[in-house]
Amino acid sequence: MRIDRLDLRAFGPFTDVSLDLSAGQHGLHLIYGPNEAGKSSALRALRQMLYGIDARTPDNFVHEYDKLRVGATLRNPDGTTLAFLRRKGNRRTLRSAMDDADLDDAALNPFLGRLEKDRFETLFGIDHERLAEGGKAIASGKGHLGQLIFGAGSDLVRLRKLQKELETGWSDLFKKGGQKPPLNQALAELAEARQAIEDASIRSADWAERTASLAEAHRLKVQNQSELDDLQRQTSRLERIHQAKPDLAQRLELLAALTTLADVPLLRDDFAEERRTVQEDIRVAEQTDAMSRDELKEIEEALGAIDVPEPLLVEAEAISELQLQLGGHQKDQRAMIKKRADHQTALDSARGHLRELGHGDDLSQAESLRITTTFSRRFQSFSDNHPALVKDCESSGKTIDVLTEKIDALSAALDNLETDRDPVDLRAAVDRATRKGDLHDQAADARKALKKLERQAEDALRKLPLWSGTLEDLEGLIVPGASTINRYLQELDDANA
């Protein structure tokens, strides 16, 4: 077994110290140092690295017991190696070289063989005290320790012969006051080395001066770093300002444009929604107005086209009676026609809303769409009026049934009348009058509806904050398209943002 490296990670006076012993062919290394340099501690670390750190080791004066670590890299003649650490403990004290996992204690067996702790200490862990004891044992011719130190075993004769040879040849190694013997030369070199160390040592005053210089340099470094950070922050600020220049120029242009609009009243936040609602109301009013005008025109044309035959005038009294009896029925028919028109208008309005939302004309999608507040109010209004409308429809249905019975009775009475006159013209006139209903009442109702629509349009115009003219002025006004209004609204929102 050969020790390629001894790692004094945390042991005795050492912290993260490694001794590289891998060089050389024979594995012989000389480690020297002054007193209290840690030579004895390193020797103890060598033994405790292989066999475990003592329970009461004195080498914890720098590191706590649980922090003690000593390790090595071992190599066998066959080339296998093992790098490990030893921690202080009672069990599983062998650790990996990275100190991140436990190793089996049997991992050292291929490297130690049968070499036990006591024999290792006797053969390889010899300190100065044991070396002196062994010398005395050899000199007195006794002592198993001295024999083991020099590998003589129980052969004292050979050991004494070797001692004699050593005593005879020691003078060749050292002579008092000599210069050529190897030991004298080594001592001279040692003295020179000590002198060199002394010359290379720095005085405490120089050390203090250099320490102060280092502190000053560190202070200047911190100051320069602070100045550099300030310059970098200023540079970053200037870069942001440079990047924002186009936006600032655009902002100035927008502010200038807003200055020209200083007298323009500010729109409310819900102006867009209110505008769409008013537009829809105007559209419905215009549609209803057009329908009413067309219907009024048809009625007037029908009135002008009626040619009443002379025989029919003879029966004016009977016709008036029939007219009085049919008045209620005709009124109910007009009410139903009006309700159907209102229903169709509501359907058209709903489809218009769906088209604005981009969902076509399919009313089946209305339930899945989110409704606006205005539409919710309108829908609530329709819902509140629904019971009254249902009641009116039921009442109208009953009235229609009663009038139908009366008409049937009158028709039967007419059939029973004996007359020589041909009733074809009369029936044709009655049919035309019946189909047209009460033309005077219809014209009056149409005029009332037209006036109502005009009042609704005037009310809607008065709600517009930027309009003070009349309905006739509005009809002659050139109104910008919806896309133009939306574009200006978008530009206003962008400028406010």
The C-alpha atoms of residue 207 and residue 201 are separated, in whole angstroms, by: 10
> What residue ranges in 12-108 does DSSP mark as E strands?
14-20, 69-75, 81-87, 94-96
pTM score, whole prediction: 0.32
User: For residues 462 and 474, is the Cβ–Cβ distance under 8 A?
Assistant: no
**Res. 153 pLDDT band, cuts 50 70 90:** very low
pLDDT value at position 146? 47
Q: Does residue 496 surpass a pLDDT of 60?
A: yes
User: For residues 464 and 277, is the Cβ–Cβ distance under 8 A?
Assistant: no
Provide the H-helix boundaries in 261-270. none
pLDDT tens readout for residues 197-208: 887 777 778 888
Of residues 282 and 362, more confidently modeled: 282
pLDDT tens readout for residues 375-414: 556 656 656 666 776 677 777 778 877 888 888 887 777 7
User: For residues 311 and 426, is the Cβ–Cβ distance under 8 A?
Assistant: yes
pLDDT value at position 370? 55
pLDDT value at position 10? 92
pLDDT tens readout for residues 296-314: 888 888 777 776 666 666 6
Computed over every residue of the chain, the mean pLDDT equals 77
Share of the chain above pLDDT 90, in %: 10
The type of residue at 299 is I
User: Strand order of the sheet with strand 14-20?
Assistant: 14-20, 2-11, 69-75, 81-87, 94-96
Q: Does residue 154 surpass a pLDDT of 70?
A: no
Neighbours of 426 (CB within 10 A): 19
Dihedral angle, C-alpha 230, 231, 233, 237, nearest 10 °: 140
**Res. 437 pLDDT band, cuts 50 70 90:** low
pLDDT value at position 438? 67
Q: Does residue 93 surpass a pLDDT of 70?
A: yes
pLDDT value at position 155? 45
- How many CA atoms lie within 13 Å of 257's alpha carbon, on the beta-carbon side? 12
User: For residues 289 and 450, is the Cβ–Cβ distance under 8 A?
Assistant: yes
Q: What is the mean pLDDT of residues 68-94?
A: 90
| Angle of the 482-496 helix axis to the 204-260 helix axis, nearest 10 | 150
**Res. 151 pLDDT band, cuts 50 70 90:** very low
Q: Does residue 149 surpass a pLDDT of 60?
A: no
Looking up tokens 């320490």 gives 211
pLDDT value at position 157? 54
Q: Which range among 48-57, 94-103, 116-125, 286-295 shows the weakest confidence by mean pLDDT?
A: 116-125
The C-alpha atoms of residue 56 and residue 100 are separated, in whole angstroms, by: 25
Q: Which range among 36-50, 270-284, 431-445 shows the weakest confidence by mean pLDDT?
A: 431-445
Backbone angles phi, psi at 100, to 5 degrees: -120, 5
Q: What is the mean pLDDT of residues 140-160?
A: 50
pLDDT value at position 229? 92
pLDDT value at position 228? 92
pLDDT value at position 137? 65
C-alpha 181: how far from chain center: 82
pLDDT tens readout for residues 343-360: 778 777 777 766 776 666
Q: Does residue 191 surpass a pLDDT of 80?
A: yes
pLDDT tens readout for residues 227-267: 999 999 999 888 888 888 888 888 888 888 878 877 777 77
Nearest CA-CA partner of 47 in 106, 126, 147: 126
